[in-house]
Structure formats: structure tokens, C-alpha cells
Structure 1
Amino acid sequence: MDLAEGGTVLLGRDAEQNYRARLSTELIASGPRLEQVEGSLLWRLAHRAETDAAGSTLMITRRRPAEDEPSEVVAPKRQHTPSPPSEAAVESAPVFGKNWGIEPRFTVPDFITVDGVHYKVVTRADAREYPIAYIQQPSHSRYDFDVLEATLRHTPDEQPRSVIRMPPDNHWQIDARLPFDKPLTGYVREAFPEVSTATLENIARKQFTLTNSSSFADAAGLTALRQIFSSWKNGTQSPHPEWSDPLLMLPVLRAASGSSSTSRSLDLPNPTSRMSLDRLDFDPQRFPQQWDYFVSTYSPMDLKRFMANLLTRNGYGVFEPNSLNSFPALVFRRTGHDYVFFMSLHRTRIPKISLPAHTHPNTTGISLETQVGEHAANAVREAHQNNKLIWLKGGSQIRPNYPDTVFIVRDDDARL
């Protein structure tokens, strides 16, 4: 069965009919007690008291050259939830057949041993301790985003494999399956099908850096990416919401004083810049029919409908737009986290958004309920109280010598 932390174990029942990890030679499971993650097909370690009582603990031991002392890390325990009532099917993992063995004393400072064979470990100098490890092709150097992306795109069978300690003797076992079945940008494209090519790569690169807390991969980061991609695929709560939604990864832009004392403006980052996720852009060539209609009308309601439909096609749940023609705005969410987004809508033909005072609802006495509707307003106020409210600006940007685009940026222009 697949573990939420990554890796695979065989599953069976003990004498009390509890689910536990087991060896292939066991009829009655003796490993750590496991529980199914609610709403998914993944499994995890059960409550600490139950696993400790069984006397079985998953351990990670990093093997180093003889002069170094091994270190041990106990796998984190999870909150207990009731075990599923049905009998779980036992799955056999495929056999790892790669010739990745090394002579560690003369090649690498960090390795593990599986069935007498030494393997190079995905790591870096400041790698975080984690109860899952990954072995790698010995000729590969450290994995930054570009190296891993190229490996997944061109030679996916050469990507790292996860390994986990197996009870009762805590021996290493390799999960021969591929951790990733497509490039990192491929996962982003599936979840956000209409973003521009530049935004696609910027999201994947930023996500890689955040999950790994570095420009180079470690075991914790690779596992976090797998968990995020699983939550995208299954529509489940993400264990890392701040890394699973690109809108939560955007920097907060600050408005500057405008041409008069009562106006401000928000400079927009370059839509074609790469390497930095400063804005999201959606490519009209991916929705030409909707775009052609949108640019033919100047109705605020059409702007709201257009943006609401775009967000929906890219995985967001949007509160029904109301019929107010002034101060167009949308409120929306995304499955996988409990943040709420409030986005004011704009059309611009310059590299900034002009924000004169008379166009801000706070200066004209328009209530939040009037602007976005009662249900959306209630969601905004509740999220604001829970510090889960994100302010955005979005809309169309049509400029000479630049591709037409639909943009979203994050700002500090609070409505409340």
C-alpha cells in the first residue's frame, strides 16, 4: 500500500485484526500499526500509543563511511482515526532492477545499504532529516529543478526511488515504482490547464524551491511534491497548502502614489519573465472563443463572468457573481486548503493598474454584501477573522508588442 510519507509497504492484519505493515513471509502482520488517510487511498502510521505498544517503530539509519557514527530518526506518528472496516488487499511491490550500486568509501559521503548493495542517497549539506530516503543514479549530481525536470522529461526511469525501513528488523526496502510519472511542469499543466508557458515553468520552479527549502532537492522536498500532486489528482486536503496553490506563492505587491493626491497605481511585473513567480498569466490562445467574446464587450458583468469561468476551468470554486455593475470583484476558493480569495477585476492596456480613489468601494459607501453578494461576503469576513483571506487583483492586459494575457497578482489593497 502507498504511504502518505512516500514509499510502499505490504499490509496485513494482526491477531486483533488491526492493520499493520507486514513482511512478505508473514501471515500475521507484526509491523507498525497503520491507518488509512481519510478521503484517500494512502496509509500512514497510527496513533503513537498504539504503535509504541506494538514495539515496532520505523527507523531511518543513514549509513556513512566507517569513521562516521550513524544517526537514527524515528518516523513521525500520526493522529489516530478509525481503521476502515473492509479487508485491505495485499499488494506486491515491483522488483528494483537498476544497477546503481556504488563503492561508497571512495565515491560519496552519504549512502544506504540494501541487501548488501550500497546506494547513493539524494541529499545535500543541509538536508532535513526525514523518515523516507531516496536513492539515485550514481552518475547524477545533486538535483536542482532543471536537472530533475530534464530527468523526468527525457529519462524518467533514471529518477530517484524512495526507500523505507521495514519491520521487524528495520531493513531497507526499495520502492521500485517511479515516484513521478511526468515532468513537474506536467503536473502543473494538469492542475492549471490554461496558464501561459512562462507561468507554467515559474509555478513548477517556485514549488520545487519552496518544498525543498533550497534550490536542491532532499527527501522531505521530494515527498512533499508527491503529496501535493496526489492531493491535486484526488481533490483532497493538501498537507502543504502554502505550496499547493500558486496564488498562495505569489509575492504581495505594494501600490504606489499616483499622479494625484487621491490616486494610486500598482505596477505589474513583466508577464514574460521567467525564473520568478511574480504573477499568474493565462494564455488566451488556450480559450480563444471565450477571449474573442470578452474583448468585444466592455460590460462589468461580462468581465465577472469571463473571469469566473476561467477560474472554474482551472480548478477554483467561485461564488456566484452578483448583478452589480460597479466595482467588479469575485470571491473564490480551491479544494485542498481553506484560504479564501477576494479579487477585484480590471482591464488595462499599460504595465500598471490605475487606482483612483473614486473607483474604490471603501470611499463610495458600497458595502461588501452589495459588491459580491451575501454568501461571498460572509465567507470573506470569516476568512478575514481566521487570517485566511488573500487579496488579489486580476483581469485582462492588452499591450503593444506583448501577447494578450489574463493576469492575477497579489496585493495589499484590503477591502476590509
Structure 2
Amino acid sequence: METTPVFRKEWGVEPKLTLPAFITIGDVHYKRVTRVDARDYPIAYIQQPGHPAYDFDLLEAILRHTPDEQPRSVIRVPPDNHWEIDARLPFEKPLTAYVREVFPEVTTVTLENIARRQFELANSSSIADAAGLTALRQIFHSWKNAVPSPHPQWTDPLLMLPVLPTSSGITSASRSIDLPISTSTGRLDRLDFDPLRFPREWNFFMSTYSPMDLKRFMAGILTRNGYTVMEPNSFNSFPALVFRRTGHEYVFFMSLHRTRMPKLSLPTHMNPNTTGINLETQVGDAAAQAVKDAHQAGKIIWLKGGSQIRPGYADTVFIIRDDNARL
């Protein structure tokens, strides 16, 4: 039988701080994880008194090197509402390790950007508070158990992507989207998947120019990284995929591209909206209906993705979000 861990840390402080910066449990005063604009939340956390406020880098370093020093949650226990420490570790691994488990093929830069952006969104700040730490734990629980999350907007990096603008192209009949450079700035402008993590599939993909092979290649990446892709049809033009992810109700429509430039060119003759190709022909009846239903419910996300090969940069498979609706 598993025994409940006991909290044995000597984290007591002299209560020079003013409430609510500390919590008293028994006769011991503990420094509370908080910040000036911390949100009210029923679960609180106590921390090692020598630690400053937790930003992403500090918490990630603690979880990586000294996980036993991470904050502990405390809850009020009825009937007298006294505080009680939960001695269990809130996080079993670094934040990036949770992301890597669920998105095994993203690049290292994308991995870090997802984890950092998720931390900042969950905490509504670059500094942690109790509500944010608990939200992260709930997200990781939903990933582990493949159940809906109370925070769907932060469980899927595709929902965290900004909408990139489409600009006028060289001619009046063409448009383009500038692809942001993938850097470790904490900005999550794009997702990148690393071909070194799927070399066999990448090598085959590089040997073919078939739109069907492009669809199968991208469907494989999505599937291996936790998405459920609707069966691609055999239509050989305007390749696109429709897919979902457990944990939220959104549906993704992604048109597929290959580029050797820092942007995506979108000439009119490659736009199914202007060439009279209906959605059913492009992706099949079932996928088209899923897109229409999601669009009606305000749950459709428009994406573009594919390969980007440029001199001086690592080959990559990217996904971006845009607002070029197919309907």
C-alpha cells in the first residue's frame, strides 16, 4: 500500500512579510508563491524561502536539477479550514519534458517555445501564481490521461499560435505569408518538426512530388504527435488535411505546401476558393462536413503547413496559423 509522503522541508520563515505573502501552518510560517497581481485561488503553494518569484526559467531549472525544491501545494481542510501541506511533488519532470512526451517530433526550439508560452498563458504573466501552477498540472494530467482539459486553449500549441497576416504578393493576383524565423525567443509563431526525428519518412518525402504523398507524410507527423487525422482522400490537387486533438472541440483545416523561401506564395491559381474546387472534392465528404460543422460552431482553425528548405537553415516541417478561411 502506497504511503502518503510527509513534508519534511525546513522552509519556515520569520513572519516579517505581510499577509498574504506567508501562510501559517501549525506554528510555522511559510513563504507563499504569489505576486502583486496574483489571482484568488482555493489552492495555494508554499516555496523554499530563498527562491525569488518563479518565472519559466527558474521553475524549469529547479524541476531539472533540484526537483525536491519545487513549491508544494497547500489546501484548506474543513471543518475549521486549517491549511494542510500536500507533500507530493506537483511536477514529476521539467515542463519541457511534459511537452516532449506529447510532441515527440518537434524541434528543440519549438519544444522550449511551447513550454514557455504555455507557462505564460496559464499564469497570465511571466511570473507564476497558484492558479497558473494548478492549471499547468491540470493540462499535464489531461495529456497523460487523454481526457478533456479545463483549459483547452492552453493544451494544444496549435491553439496558441498567433494568426499571421497575409500580404499582397508581387502581382494583384497573388498573395503571400511571411514565415517567421524559428528562434528561442519564447514567441510561439510557428511549430516546427525536426526531420532528423523521422529520417525514413523525410527521405521518402524528398523523393516524391505527389500531392498524395505530401498528405500522407503530413498526416503521419500529425498522428505521431497526438492528432487524429481524417482519412485523406485521393484528390490530387490542393492538398489539405482535416484533423482534431483529444482535449478540446476545435477542428483544424490545414492546406499543405512546399517552400524554399522565407515565405509562402499563394498565387490565385493555387487557391481552391478562386478556382471553383468545392470542399467535398478537396478533402472528401466526411472531412468537409466536419469543417462546416466546426465553422458553424465557431470551432474551426485555419492552418498552413508543409516543408521549408532553405540554404543555411535546417530543413523543417512547419505549421502556421492564418485567417484564409476555406469557407
- TM-score, length basis structure 2: 0.98
Once the two structures are TM-superposed, the CA of residue 273 in structure 1 deviates from its matched residue by: 4.5
* Cross-structure match for 2:223: 312
Per-residue CA deviation, residues 181-210 of structure 1 (Å, 9 max, x unaligned), is: 000000000010000000000000000000
Report the equivalent of 1:18. none
Tell me the equivalent position of 2:246.
335
Checking the alignment, whether the CA contact within 8 Å between 1:266 and 1:353 is kept in structure 2 is yes
Number of residues paired by the alignment?
A: 327
The 3 A distance-change label for structure 1 pair 126 and 99 is same
Identity %: 76
Alpha-carbon distance between aligned partners in 1 of 2:274 and 2:20, rounded to the nearest angstrom: 63
Q: Does 1:219 align with 2:130?
A: yes
- What aligned pairs does 1:102-181 form with structure 2 within 5 A after superposition? 102-105=13-16, 110-181=21-92
Are 1:190 and 2:190 matched, yes or no?
Answer: no
The verdict on how the C-alpha distance between 1:106 and 1:261 changes in structure 2, with shifts beyond 3 A counting, is closer
> Which residue of 1 is the match for residue 318 of structure 2?
407
- How far apart in 2 are the matches of 1:284 and 1:272? 17
One-letter amino acid matched to 1:288: P
Does the 8 Å contact 1:201/1:274 carry over to 2?
no
Give, in whole Å, the separation in 2 of the partners of 1:206 and 1:184. Answer: 11
**Corresponding residue for 1:385?**
296
Q: Residue 93 of structure 1: CA displacement?
A: 2.7
Show structure 2 runs of 5+ residues with no match.
none
Q: CA RMSD in A?
A: 1.3
Q: Classify 1:180/1:117 alpha carbon distance in 2 versus 1 (closer, same or farther; 3 Å).
A: same
Distance between the aligned counterparts of 1:372 and 1:252, measured in 2? 23
Q: Distance in 2 between matches of 1:291 and 1:229?
A: 30
Deviation, 1:171, is 1.1
Kindly tell me: are residues 273 and 133 of structure 1, through their superposed partners in 2, closer, same or farther at Cα, counting changes over 3 Å? closer
Greater RCO structure (CA 8 Å; 6+ sep)? 2
Describe how 1:280-359 pairs up with structure 2 within 5 A. 280-359=191-270
Q: Quote how far apart the aligned CAs of 1:215 are.
A: 0.5
For residues 211-234 of structure 1, the C-alpha deviation after alignment (integer angstroms, 9 at most, x for no partner) is 000000000000000000000000
TM-superposed CA distance for 1:271, in Å, is: 2.3
Q: Given that residues 112 and 184 in structure 2 are in contact (C-alpha distance below 8 angstroms), is that contact kept between their aligned partners in structure 1?
A: no
Runs of 4+ in 1 over 6 A off after TM superposition: none
Equivalent residues of 2:53, 2:128 under 8 A apart: yes
Q: Is the 8 A contact 1:108 1:120 kept in 2?
A: no
* Distance of 1:176 and 1:204 partners within structure 2: 25
Cα distance in 1 between the residues matched to 2:75 and 2:92: 20
- Give the number of the structure whose residues are more often helix, by fraction: 2
